[in-house]
Structure 1
Amino acid sequence: MTRNRLNMLVAVVAMVVVALAGFFLGVQPQLAQAANDRVEQTSVDATNRTTAAELARLKDRAKSLPALKAELAKLTASVPSGANMSSFYGAVDGVAASSGVKVSAITTSDAVAYTAPVSAGTATDAEVAPTDEATADATAPATAEPTAATTTPLTDPAISGENFSAIPVSVSVDGSFDQALAFVGGLQDGARLFLVNTVSSSATQDSTDQAAAASTTWTFGGYVYVLTTEASASAKG
């Protein structure tokens, strides 16, 4: 090999080394950065699509916000966060006036904490399967020990005796059957929920005027309710 060819070979090898060094030191890091950028761009695009979908959902829900606020106000009036019995008494007087009855008495008792109904059941150990030995000795019956009873709430666990209570109420009015029917119907259609569970009536005759028609007193017993929310509890605190 001549000296010129050797110099040329060395020069070619040097060029290859320089090219490889340039690739690994300059080009390859740029390619890796570009790949990372593409991955990040894909992630950002996915996040943007999710955000856009959520914004569209919220905009659609915002259209129903006035109706939801109106429904909330109606429910809050039906079962308020405080007893507010003066407002209920006012509603009773208003319904009585419109139905033609005269309120003779209104009584309330202390609020009663709500107790959630539960379905109770008992679990037993595995039943003992009959065997030849058990069949031979019929005087030794197999028994199954009952375990502790299990209970399952039947209502929303968010409603409990801590935040929900019932106030017993009794309202007595004087009037005819039709008037009393109109009264209790109007009261149950009012803003405050009033659950009637007892109805009784009594007729009295004016001893000074036997010719006068007997007066009938109708008594409706039931409950109004109070639901204490976190916001109302914080305000009281």
Structure 2
Amino acid sequence: MTTTKWWLVGAMLVIVLVMLAGYTLGISPKLDELSEARTTRSAALAQNEVYELQLAALQRQFDGLETVQDELAVLREAIPSGATLPTLIGQLDGIAGRTSVTLTEFSSADAMPYLPVVALPDTASGVDPTTAADASAAPSAASSPLVTAENFVAVPITIAVTGNFDAVLEFLDGLQNGQRLMTVTSFSTSAASAEAPDRVTGQIAGIVYVLLNGE
């Protein structure tokens, strides 16, 4: 082999070594950096998707907040944090006016720790409305660990109304479906007077509830 050929071979070897060194020292690290950057970008995109899902969930909860507040306001009226008997009497007057009966009596007893009672059966089911409900029967209310005798109290009340029989029954229905939650424990009727045989007096006993520290 001539000297010229040896020089050519040596030059080619040098070129190959330079290319290998360039790849090892320059191109390969850049490829690693590019791969790492792609991995980081993929992770960032995935995290952004998670954030977008969380933001959408929070937005849905926020959109429903007003509805929850409205429902809470209704519950506050049904079970207030105090007896608020003047407000209750006002509601009874409103029901009496709508059903054309006269509210003739209202009284309340001392509050007592909550004990579930059985509500009066619907008079439309054929049950004699003059039959009193047995308040000592098995409880029908669902129990909850959040409702205790310390924070949930019952206030017994007695109501008397006068009107025709159908109107008294309408008052009873309105009472059980009014703003204030009430459990009717007994109901009976009697003739209002001999001079007005078409009018009866309805005697209603029941319980309204108070959730202490409800704010």
Normalising TM by the smaller chain, what interval?
A: 0.5 to 0.7
Alignment of 1:1-237 (within 5 A): 8-53=8-53, 55=55, 66-98=66-98, 99-113=100-114, 157=144, 159-161=146-148, 165-176=152-163, 177-201=165-189, 212-213=195-196, 217-227=201-211, 232=215
1: CA distance between counterparts of 2:48 and 2:167?
64
Aligned length: 188
1: CA distance between counterparts of 2:32 and 2:184?
76
CA deviation map 1:115-163 (0-9, x unaligned): 8xxxxxxxxxxxxxxxxxxxxxxxxxxxxxxxxxxxxxx9575633178
1: CA distance between counterparts of 2:112 and 2:4?
112
Alignment match, 2:124: none
CA distance change for structure 1 residues 172 and 113 in 2, over 3 Å: closer, same or farther? Answer: closer
Question: 5+ residue gaps in structure 2?
Answer: 117-140
CA distance change for structure 1 residues 174 and 157 in 2, over 3 Å: closer, same or farther? Answer: closer
Task: Give, in angstroms, the shift of residue 192 of structure 1.
Answer: 1.5
Question: 5+ residue gaps in structure 1?
Answer: 116-153, 206-210, 233-237
CA contact (8 A) 1:196 1:222 kept: yes
CA contact (8 A) 1:175 1:216 kept: yes
2: CA distance between counterparts of 1:15 and 1:203?
122
Alignment match, 2:133: none
CA contact (8 A) 1:114 1:160 kept: no
**Aligned residues: CA RMSD:** 3.8
2: CA distance between counterparts of 1:21 and 1:228?
81
Task: Give, in angstroms, the shift of residue 107 of structure 1.
Answer: 0.8
Normalising to structure 1: TM-score of the pair? 0.59
CA distance change for structure 1 residues 93 and 32 in 2, over 3 Å: closer, same or farther? Answer: same
2: CA distance between counterparts of 1:185 and 1:66?
30
2: CA distance between counterparts of 1:64 and 1:26?
57
